[in-house]
Structure 1
Amino acid sequence: MKEYIEERAVEVGNYIVDKKATVRQTAKVFGISKSTVHKDVTERLEKINQSLARRAREVLDLNKSERHIRGGMATRGKYQKIKKNTKAIQG
């Protein structure tokens, strides 16, 4: 494995653990795809630093178990905004 990929995998793992970040948030910060973040944490980091890989995986598993809640909150906010705008237009 190339050195820069190993370094990125460690940086990604540390970022996820430190910030409790989601895959999507991490991908945006590092300018890489979600699948690359996932591969860095689940495959590459496991070979480099098992302890960090385990901690990052725990954060990602927690985020995955909570994503339906975040999705519901986003949908609720969307419809509240629509309702507010409709009332403003109706006056």
Structure 2
Amino acid sequence: MHIPTISLNPGPATLAVRACHDGVLVLGRLCLRWLRLRRMQTTARTLGRLDDRVLRDLGLDRSELLSASAELHGLARRDRRPSLFGR
């Protein structure tokens, strides 16, 4: 009597599907990161249009616009006063 064996090694089709799935996940993460960077740049540009008095009222200096935008969009660790972003 012959007992069939089941191969535990995935076949080429399974490996290809896994590789495509992983590639899609990486591509999705890259797209999300790119969108965050674009939003951060837009925020920094918008803040840059404000005059110095308004920026000072917000607790910002011109030299901090990019870092404040990065914090706001989750691209940098938040280390500013919580009142700046209302949290």
| Structures share fold, TM-score greater than 0.5 | no
Higher helix share: 1
Larger Rg: 2
Q: TM-score, normalised by structure 1?
A: 0.33
Q: TM-score, normalised by structure 2?
A: 0.34
The structure with higher relative contact order (CA 8 Å, sep 6+) is 1
